[in-house]
Structure 1
Amino acid sequence: MIVEMRYGAGTLPIEIPDKNVASVLEISESVPLSDEDGAVREAIARPIASPPLAEIAKGRESACIVISDVTRPVPNKVILPPMLETLERAGIPREKITILIATGIHRPNEGAELEQMVGRDIIDTYRIVNHFSQKPEHHEYLGETQNGTPVHIDKTYLESDLKIATGLIEPHLMAGYSGGRKAICPGIASVETMKVMHGPELMEHPKSSSWYLRGQSVSHRSD
């Protein structure tokens, strides 16, 4: 059987002996949004179980929007413009808004790659910085967790008056699901924090698996 595996911006054909194929899982087709921009603006104006972003931003002096790096297929070109417009209309000066790329322990995203992620207009208009996990001076130590994990988080994020984390929801090999809290750790945590959070003790924990949620594992297995 020939299976097309995603690789970079395209795919690579991989031949798997038929005797080794138990089953092939495919993602169900979905209907694209007819108005992406309108849908994002509606979500910002009428979020679930939260005040609108415009209301939260009132009276704030600065803002930091954390975005995923190039390894995550987040549509930043779609979600960032209405968010940025909302922050400015709420009174936060443009020069006080920072977009922080949550690289985790990955390399920085720059040049053409960054333009592909956020678009030329945003690059030319707003301050964009990469997180550098291996630069201690870029982090602030916040103490330790109950299990002794040292918590070092990017100062750009901590020093901002309004903190916004973006991302996507997808199965993750050790965190259950990607997105949400992962924008902060590993997204903007130091390598010292990640030595524990991505260390063997946690990576080998029985609850460290894909699709693990609320105490129940829903991982698919074909025997």
Structure 2
Amino acid sequence: MEQAAIDRVIANGVIVAAAGLIQAAAALAGGPVAHRSWDDPGALGQRRGPRPTPGPSANAGGLGIPGWGATLCSMTRVFRVPLGAGEVAFALPEGMRGTSVTARPAEPLPDLDAAVRDALARPVAGPRLHELAAGARSACVVVTDVTRACPEDRLLPPLLAELAAGGIADGAVTILVAAGLHRPMTAAEKSAGFGEAVVARYRVVDHDAFEPAGLVDLGAVAHGVPAVVNRIAVEADLLVATGIVEPHQFAGLSGGRKTVALGVADEATIGATHGVAMIDHPGTRLASLDGNPSTRRRPRSPSEPASASSSTSSPTKMAGR
């Protein structure tokens, strides 16, 4: 990232809740930071591909940003972010503005399983999932990986039952893990995250952003962003995405389109949506979709079938709530 863009992001007080900056927060607090090597199979966000070349300021304050190491002593305002089962406290340098966004208190659902069944029975828009599945020969269910706190093990059983009710055989359903550039999930993580019964009964595949044979190039969308996505998702008759909807520093809100457009995209597509042009765009705002370049795509013409990406005429149907 260019230094000018970094300076602009910091000056606007944008705090990105990503794994790398959570570790940076731990470093600022003076606490221990778990450093993993690029090839460490146990690293949660392990990437594959060429090892990155360290920049000239890679050791400045532990953040790769010049001047941070010299300003730690002047930090006053303390912020707290969740980390695992606990939290990390950190402060901003004097003169830097920061905004703390706190969600309104909400009571947890008294019966999550009943709430999921009710949501599937009464979609916000469009027909029920088993109706969408009618006539489809195959389905791809894109799910979040271990880095997301989504209760997939509670969502998948009733969702998969809807597909079965629509006539799609178990063997024609693929559960595609939206790994993005993260490492593949382990077998234990899949069993814990998706449920042992689901893993034993259905085909579960980790998305691989670096395997050309498993990707399809759909051309380019707005801002020249390449649309290269997983072949399983493109070729399925019915495409379903689960996930959590929460504020996101680039897409405005996560879940839905982001789960598919980024979670099962190739490295170039992911890089283009996380680069300087995207960060520096005036429409890129936390929790905002209006004017966000992530949502600005060519509208689908009436003659095109519904698809996972409105920039193509793929026969894939996209279902979601």
TM-score normalised to the size of structure 2?
A: 0.61
Gaps of 5+ in 2: 1-76, 293-321
Aligned to 1:187: 263
Whether the 8 Å contact between 2:130 and 2:164 is mirrored in structure 1 is no
Q: Tell me the number of residue pairs that the alignment of Structure 1 and Structure 2 aligns.
A: 214
Distance (Å, rounded) in 1 between the aligned partners of 2:109 and 2:192 = 21
Distance (Å, rounded) in 1 between the aligned partners of 2:240 and 2:147 = 20
Distance (Å, rounded) in 2 between the aligned partners of 1:24 and 1:152 = 35
Gaps of 5+ in 1: 217-223
Higher normalized contact order (CA 8 Å, seq sep 6+, divided by chain length): 1
**Change in CA separation of 1:97 and 1:15 when aligned onto 2, cut-off 3 Å:** closer
Greater share of strand: 1
- Aligned partner of residue 142 in structure 1, secondary structure: strand
Q: Does 1:110 align with 2:186?
A: yes
Aligned to 1:40: 116
Q: Does 1:91 align with 2:173?
A: no
Q: Does 1:157 align with 2:239?
A: no
* 1:5 Cα offset (Å): 3.1
Aligned to 2:86: 11
Distance (Å, rounded) in 1 between the aligned partners of 2:156 and 2:246 = 20
Aligned to 1:173: 249
Q: Does 1:204 align with 2:280?
A: yes
* 1:22 Cα offset (Å): 7.8
Based on CA coordinates, which of the two structures has the bigger radius of gyration? 2
- Aligned partner of residue 193 in structure 2, secondary structure: helix
**Change in CA separation of 1:147 and 1:213 when aligned onto 2, cut-off 3 Å:** closer
Identity of aligned residues (%): 36
Residues 23-102 of structure 1: pairs in structure 2 closer than 5 A: 26-102=102-178
* 1:135 Cα offset (Å): 1.2
**Change in CA separation of 1:182 and 1:24 when aligned onto 2, cut-off 3 Å:** closer
Deviations 1:51-94 (A, max 9, x none): 01111111111111011112221110111100111111221110
Indicate the RMSD between aligned Cα atoms, in angstroms. Answer: 2.3
Give the stretch that moved more between structures: 191-200 or 25-34.
25-34
